Structure 1
Amino acid sequence: MVKKARTAEREAVPRRAARWPRKRRHLLGSAYLLLLLGCALLLVALSLTPAPAPTSQRQTLVVGALPFWNIGGGTETLVTHRESVNGVSPWMYGIGPNGGITTQYSPEDSDKVDRNLSRLRDAGLPVMPTLANITEGRWAYEPVARMLHDPELMRRHVAGIVSLVQREGYNGIDIDYEDLRARDRDAFTGFITLLAERLHAVDKKLSVALFAKTTDAGYDERNVAQDYAAIGRVADQVRLMGYDYHWSTSEPGAVAPVGWVRDVLDYAKTRIPPDKIVLGVPLYGYDWVDGHGESVTWLEAFRLATEHGAKVRYDRDRQAPWFRYTDEKGREHEVWFENAASSRAKFEAVRAAGIRGVYLWMYGHEDVGMWPALRDTLPVG
């Protein structure tokens, strides 16, 4: 938003000194010279004195993002490394066909989810769960589109989110609505603006997950639908999905090449206040064969390389490990994944960019060496 400069009108200065006695004018002139001299000396002193350091700095944010299928293992890991994290977002809510809020996990898993949420709270971790446009286990566009373009449905959806956050005692909500169309851009911004207003009114926070991009248009409609600047003005956190540069149906390659990550952060900082930007860091990889990639954890990648005697290489340009192996059917695989070194490279990019922090997409069984790299690079204090 460009503010128009205001032009101040000059006021005429009264020539009172002309009516004062000569002696008083002389004394005033001397006092005036002394005042000017004092001001000059003060300016010189200030120019030679370093600016004081800020009295406080916003705390680095490190959030564990736990998909519901890893809620048990992820909780155990976060509790073990409690000194390295200060937030958690279980990825656990979805949307019903009419805009209602559903759980992504089955009813028989409810007790397990509740137990792990209690453990996270007992560890002092603020809980801000993620609500994604998942309907019956699949990404779904229609329920979100219907809500975005129907004012009454939007109002009810927002009210339902606020009610959920208050009822469950959450710190706030993280919205992850993906695969929108370009025509949804203004409606999505309107929804996020309304939701932020209603959450802030009850002292709750809003985080919004957005696709990583290096221009406003990005690479397709899903990027156009997300207005970085408008969302950055109203949300408390903007979580950039700094992963899946290569994905399950792409050609093999690094999940989050560090050069691309730096470009994403450079662009984001031109649109979003840096202290609201949180970078998503993947802790997983893909095993590609016959044109398709299956997701793998660090432990699974390590096991595959060991079993097949594959030599793990490290791409210095992309800051990512990878290897190839041939399976029992004679098919050649290519695996790119994340380890402590590749994670450290992204943590260092975050520190250099001066943004708020990171969220760790904890698919499961990450490289244990990632935790000391995190503590060294982005200590939560």
Structure 2
Amino acid sequence: MYMEIHVVRPGDTLWSIAFAYQTTIEAIRKTNGLTSDLLMPGLALYVPSPAVLPVRYVRIQQDDSLAKLARKWRSTIPLLLQANPDISPTNLPIGNVLAIPSPVRYPIRTIGFIDAFDPASIPELLDEPSASLTYGAVFTYAAQSDGGLSDVDDEELIEALIHRDIDPLMVVSNYAEGTFSPELAESVLQPEARTVLVNNIVHTIEEKGYKGVSLDFEFIPPSSREAFTTFFKELKAAIGDLLLHVNVFAKSEDMPDNPFSGAFDYLAIGASADLVTVLTYDYGYTEGPPDPIAPIGWVEDVVRYAASLIPESSLTIAIALFGYDWPGTSAANTTGPATALSALEAQQKALENYTVIEYDQEARSPYYTYTLNEQKRTVWFEDIRSLSIKYQLLEAYQLAGAAYWRIGYDFPQNWAYLEKNMAVLKTI
């Protein structure tokens, strides 16, 4: 299945891997962000090869056959059998997902969140992912309780996004003093403040040249569910043909009283928004015990439920470009919150500590432990293995695409995978 993913084994070297995949050491280093020749068992490397076709992931339908699928996707029966060694050529189980080597790449729209307050330079942020981004969501215009908006120095960033054929989206949130405020959400969603907020958003779009709005309201009190629904409907009416993107907390059933997800009416949001992103990460979160960032079973449960209420053509999943580093190894001995680090930093930390990277087969997620100042610590993160599984899920459910938190977290494997296997749509 992972024809271009190599998991390092004892005795592997960059030379031996490059020889086996008919590529160069430098290409492997660049694609995987390696700064030296050091490897550790369990490290997953992405080694794209021009000789290997992109892979589509297609759910088997009634009357499908290998010959029919090969014709449709410009593939061959031998390639299908090679990519799916466990299938019976004469008995394809309806509903199962087949890997299909094909030159026809899956079309997706992507959203990259960009922190407007990040000190990194714009070229450093955008040069690597720019070809793989449809939209750049500038985080964040913070709503104020009376409907006002915080000031954001974003003119240079907007210009840079448009120059790179990326549509800039204005993120509006209830972010205040370093966190998302339930009280602020409740206040600004009241009728009078809500009207002022909509007018201010429209004014800012016209002034700055944004192509749409991304709503990132989190921890909305469940009692404000109807008010939030009214807000995004009024906002969509006000911005017309410009894009309305709404981020929603993940859930696998509707729980109107849930303090995290209760305010999000998936059905209503799907009927009004142009794009919806389900926040399918932070299963393992900073204040909790060490856990996978986005275990695949949980992600699929969330996607299955969301897709039953939100049109697949407007539904996207969130992909983490990061991991978490916890002080401890379990709920019993974790002594404080985790710290966030990019996927590349998580990989590099394992190498620097000469640590074997483990892989949880049920969660389809990598992790490792290491010792710092005589304390055991645990890192869960995303790598090319866990990432590719999520892209497979995305296509199997025929979703619109993916959103990334956040641009600036280095994850070169992700952009290399997108370039090889997906056709990222541009609107400009």
Query: Where on the TM-score scale, by shorter chain, does this alignment land: which range?
Result: 0.7 to 0.9
Kindly indicate whether residue 300 of structure 2 is the aligned counterpart of residue 262 of structure 1. yes
Match of 2:359 in 1: 314
Match of 1:126 in 2: 167
2:179 equivalent among 127, 134, 138: 138
Task: Write the distance in 2 (CA, Å) between the matches of 1:91 and 1:321.
Answer: 29
Counterparts of 1:24-173 in structure 2, within 5 Å, are 59-70=107-118, 72=120, 76-103=124-151, 110=153, 113-149=154-190, 151-173=191-213
CA drift at 1:83: 2.9
CA drift at 1:318: 1.4
- Give the SS at the match of 1:344: helix
Name the CA shift for 1:158/1:292 in 2 (closer, same or farther; >3 Å). same
Task: Write the distance in 1 (CA, Å) between the matches of 2:325 and 2:257.
Answer: 24
Structure 1 or 2: larger helix share? 1
Contact 2:112 2:407 in 1 (8 A): no
Name the CA shift for 1:81/1:216 in 2 (closer, same or farther; >3 Å). same
CA drift at 1:193: 0.9
Paired residue type of 1:120? L
- Give the SS at the match of 2:113: strand
Name the CA shift for 1:58/1:206 in 2 (closer, same or farther; >3 Å). farther
Kindly indicate whether residue 419 of structure 2 is the aligned counterpart of residue 379 of structure 1. no
CA drift at 1:250: 1.1
1:357 equivalent among 397, 401, 408: 401
Match of 1:38 in 2: none
Name the CA shift for 1:240/1:74 in 2 (closer, same or farther; >3 Å). farther
Which sits farther off after the overlay, 285-294 or 349-358?
285-294
Match of 2:281 in 1: 243
Name the CA shift for 1:320/1:229 in 2 (closer, same or farther; >3 Å). same
Contact 2:256 2:263 in 1 (8 A): no
Task: Write the distance in 2 (CA, Å) between the matches of 1:278 and 1:74.
Answer: 26
Contact 2:155 2:208 in 1 (8 A): no
Paired residue type of 2:202? V
CA drift at 1:62: 1.3
Contact 2:144 2:188 in 1 (8 A): no
Match of 1:27 in 2: none
Name the CA shift for 1:323/1:372 in 2 (closer, same or farther; >3 Å). same
RMSD: 2.3
Name the CA shift for 1:380/1:197 in 2 (closer, same or farther; >3 Å). same
2:239 equivalent among 171, 195, 199: 199
Q: TM-score, normalised by structure 2?
A: 0.69
2:230 equivalent among 190, 193, 202: 190
Task: Write the distance in 1 (CA, Å) between the matches of 2:127 and 2:155.
Answer: 15
Deviations 1:63-120 (A, max 9, x none): 21112344745753533343322221121211224221114x6xxxx3xx43333221
Match of 1:252 in 2: 290
Match of 1:341 in 2: 385
Which sits farther off after the overlay, 301-310 or 340-349?
301-310
Which sits farther off after the overlay, 86-95 or 74-83?
74-83
Deviations 1:186-220 (A, max 9, x none): 111111111111111xx322111100111011892
Contact 1:130 1:175 in 2 (8 A): yes
Paired residue type of 1:132? S
CA drift at 1:146: 1.5
Task: Write the distance in 2 (CA, Å) between the matches of 1:69 and 1:310.
Answer: 34
Task: Write the distance in 1 (CA, Å) between the matches of 2:268 and 2:390.
Answer: 26
Name the CA shift for 1:216/1:100 in 2 (closer, same or farther; >3 Å). same
Name the CA shift for 1:75/1:174 in 2 (closer, same or farther; >3 Å). farther
Name the CA shift for 1:241/1:157 in 2 (closer, same or farther; >3 Å). same
Aligned residues: 316
> Which structure has the greater CA radius of gyration?
1
CA drift at 1:281: 0.5
Name the CA shift for 1:255/1:69 in 2 (closer, same or farther; >3 Å). farther
Contact 2:111 2:403 in 1 (8 A): yes
Q: Which has the higher contact order (CA 8 A, sep 6+)?
A: 2
Structure 1 runs (4+) deviating above 6 angstroms are: none
Task: Write the distance in 1 (CA, Å) between the matches of 2:228 and 2:124.
Answer: 36
- Give the SS at the match of 2:303: helix
Contact 2:110 2:402 in 1 (8 A): yes
Deviations 1:129-178 (A, max 9, x none): 211111233322222211223x2211111111111111111111100111
Deviations 1:221-245 (A, max 9, x none): 2211110001110111111111101
Paired residue type of 2:174? N
Task: Write the distance in 2 (CA, Å) between the matches of 1:186 and 1:359.
Answer: 26
Task: Give me the identity figure in percent.
Answer: 28
Name the CA shift for 1:301/1:69 in 2 (closer, same or farther; >3 Å). farther
CA drift at 1:249: 1.1
Contact 2:158 2:210 in 1 (8 A): no
Task: Write the distance in 2 (CA, Å) between the matches of 1:62 and 1:74.
Answer: 19
Name the CA shift for 1:153/1:159 in 2 (closer, same or farther; >3 Å). same
Task: Write the distance in 1 (CA, Å) between the matches of 2:109 and 2:253.
Answer: 25
Contact 2:274 2:314 in 1 (8 A): yes
Contact 2:171 2:216 in 1 (8 A): yes
Match of 1:229 in 2: 267
Contact 1:99 1:143 in 2 (8 A): no
Contact 1:284 1:363 in 2 (8 A): no
Task: Write the distance in 2 (CA, Å) between the matches of 1:304 and 1:191.
Answer: 44
